[in-house]
């Protein structure tokens, strides 16, 4: 059995950061297990436009499906997840979004002490390098380079002008003082290339003699001695192997994979474990519960004229021209991420901070032979989402087979609040589309269509047509209540030498994309782990910096 100080299970947005940070000093031997392949073997993981391929390719993606239920009109919902070095940071839409100050302050109210906005802001600043915004909120010399999306068609200025017409300010930095307003997206893209944890954290660290990165190694269970985690069993190249951790195992398999591995190891709800004959090592009823995601409809409008949107650039000779342009200059729409225009707004005047997100793209998609592709029809689409949904589902194993997918049960729009905000999101998108200068250029609202007007019709449309933005969180939630799985130090309640650090620990979902917050979680977990194990030598320098929160004045909520 191979021996290490730390074993990190998963190399994604959090795990890739952790493996790099824990091995940084050279003092500790670290094993990082990744079920998927090395990302450099897949050409489409670096060009931003390659997301169209990575998001559906089972070679680099788990490509899971949720269990059909009434919340989605008995439709399965697609649940992708990165299955390569860098995890989902190597296949996602590359949007940089921290969420809002109130998200993290709410975590503290839920018992997650040490995770307030003032606590995590220094970590966000540390991990990024950007010219956006002020030094008060933004980092200038971090690992992940952050840029602003390029305006690749006339559509952007037209839509921004229409949003301003109905009262939205142009927000120069939605990761700064306030999220509210309209803005070109911030992206983890630099010089036309994706910035993932594989490229920015693991690649510079991979030649360290104390770091072993094992791709194609899928964890199957934790090795336990009583209630102490001492290692991991995993399968690589068809062979079962074991690795031992003398200090800690840190689970970073994501909101779907982490609860699955805990349950397979006998840590979870006894009722769930009993169904499959798994002995209960430690009862934690919250494992797999509290599943949340951003869910909403895709709304589509058609233009009367050519030349406004990106229609046609995704096929034929125009696509070839875009590929050449990208190859020579790293410019054009292939150099950009997904939904590069954003609106953050409020469902009502009584709401203090943005609870609706509109994600806008200057083209239409179509399905041909069961495959999605860019349409040649000129138009645009808006994805309208509830930013902080209250409705919760679950993720639980449905077999003792470690290679079988768990049952993913969403429970969207279960609360009146979620339904009210979802309806408001559709109406907010329509309000902008009905304003000049964009409105006179529109020939029709394709979806939902003018016949969908009442609140009930809108909710029915969303249930029958809605999708997620692939942000599952919450299934190993952090806290101190009886349903919490990890404490604020990310240690699994009742188990020694085992932590979880990924999107699953979020007690509630943040109001934005989840990849960069997961990087923050990885950085913060590394600080806590190193501070603990370096205690005999005094505080670890990185942990000491993170221990001093930045004093940020009350931010604007407009």
Active site residues: 471
Instruction: Judge whether 501 and 494 are in contact, CB under 8 Å.
Output: no
Instruction: Judge whether 518 and 525 are in contact, CB under 8 Å.
Output: no
Tokens representing 477 are 């939630």
**Angle at which helices 117-127 and 101-109 cross, to 10°:** 130
Tokens representing 190 are 């630099």
How many other CB atoms sit within 10 Å of the CB of residue 427? 14
Rg (CA), the chain: 23
Peptide bond into 91 cis (omega under 30): no
DSSP secondary structure, 44-76, as one string: GGSSGGGHHHHTT-TTTB--EEPPPBGGGTTB-
Name 556's Cβ contacts closer than 8 Å, sequence gap at least 6: 177, 178
Beta-strand ranges (E) seen in 196-253 are 211-215, 217-225, 228-236, 239-251
Q: Give backbone dihedrals phi and psi of 548, rounded to 5 degrees, phi first.
A: -100, 100
Q: Rounded to whole angstroms, how far apart are CA atoms 269 and 347?
A: 37
CA dist list (Å): 422 to 139, 183, 343, 459, 472: 34, 21, 15, 8, 18
**Angle at which helices 416-433 and 455-465 cross, to 10°:** 100
Q: Rounded to whole angstroms, how far apart are CA atoms 75 and 293?
A: 16
């Amino acid at each position: 059995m191979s021996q290490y100080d730390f074993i990190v299970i998963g190399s994604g947005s959090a795990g890739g950061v952790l493996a790099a940070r824990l091995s940084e000093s050279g003092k500790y031997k670290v094993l990082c297990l990744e079920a998927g392949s090395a990302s450099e073997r897949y050409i489409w993981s670096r060009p931003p436009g390659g997301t169209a391929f990575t998001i559906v390719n089972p070679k680099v993606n788990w490509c899971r499906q949720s269990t059909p239920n009434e919340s989605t009109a008995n439709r399965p919902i697609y649940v992708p997840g990165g299955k390569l070095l860098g995890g989902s940071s190597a296949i996602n839409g590359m949007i940089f979004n921290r969420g809002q100050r109130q998200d993290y302050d709410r975590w503290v109210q839920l018992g997650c002490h040490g995770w307030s906005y003032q606590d995590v802001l220094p970590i966000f600043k540390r991990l990024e390098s950007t010219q956006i915004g002020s030094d008060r909120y933004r980092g200038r010399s971090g690992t992940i380079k952050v840029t602003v999306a390029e305006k690749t068609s006339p559509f952007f200025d037209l839509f921004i002008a229409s949003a301003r017409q109905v009262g939205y300010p142009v927000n120069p930095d939605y990761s700064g003082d306030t999220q509210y307003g309209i803005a070109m997206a911030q992206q983890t893209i630099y010089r036309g290339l994706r910035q993932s944890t594989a490229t920015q954290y693991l690649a510079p660290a991979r030649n360290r003699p104390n770091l072993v990165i094992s791709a194609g190694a899928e964890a199957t269970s934790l090795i336990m001695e009583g209630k102490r985690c001492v290692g991991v069993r995993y399968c690589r190249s068809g062979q079962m192997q074991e690795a031992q951790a003398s200090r800690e195992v840190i689970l970073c398999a994501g909101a779907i994979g982490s609860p699955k591995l805990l349950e397979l190891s006998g840590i979870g709800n006894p009722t769930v474990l009993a169904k499959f004959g798994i002995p209960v090592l430690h009862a934690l009823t919250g494992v797999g519960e509290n599943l949340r995601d951003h869910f909403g409809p895709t709304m589509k409008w058609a233009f009367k004229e050519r030349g406004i949107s990106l229609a046609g650039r995704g096929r034929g000779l125009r696509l070839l021209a875009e590929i050449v342009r990208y190859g020579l200059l790293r410019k054009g729409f292939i150099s950009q991420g997904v939904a590069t225009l954003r609106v953050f707004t409020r469902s009502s005047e009584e709401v203090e901070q943005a609870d609706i997100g509109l994600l806008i793209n200057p083209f239409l998609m179509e399905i041909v032979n069961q495959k999605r592709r860019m349409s040649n029809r000129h138009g645009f689409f808006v994805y309208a989402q509830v930013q902080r949904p209250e409705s919760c589902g679950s993720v639980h194993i449905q077999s003792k087979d470690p290679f079988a997918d768990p049952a993913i049960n969403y429970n969207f729009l279960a609360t009146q609040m979620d339904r009210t905000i979802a309806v408001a999101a559709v109406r907010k998108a329509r309000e902008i589309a009905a304003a000049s200068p964009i409105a006179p250029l529109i020939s029709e609202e394709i979806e939902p269509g003018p016949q969908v007007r009442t609140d009930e019709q809108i909710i029915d449309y969303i249930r029958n047509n809605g999708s997620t933005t692939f942000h599952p969180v919450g299934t190993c939630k952090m806290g101190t209540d009886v349903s919490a799985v990890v404490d604020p130090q990310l240690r699994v309640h009742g188990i020694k030498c085992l932590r979880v650090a990924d999107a699953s620990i979020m007690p509630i979902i943040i109001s934005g994309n989840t990849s960069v917050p997961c990087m923050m979680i990885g950085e913060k977990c590394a600080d806590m782990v190193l501070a603990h194990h370096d205690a005999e030598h005094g505080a670890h320098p990185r942990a000491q910096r993170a221990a001093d929160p930045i004093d940020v004045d009350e931010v604007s909520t407009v």
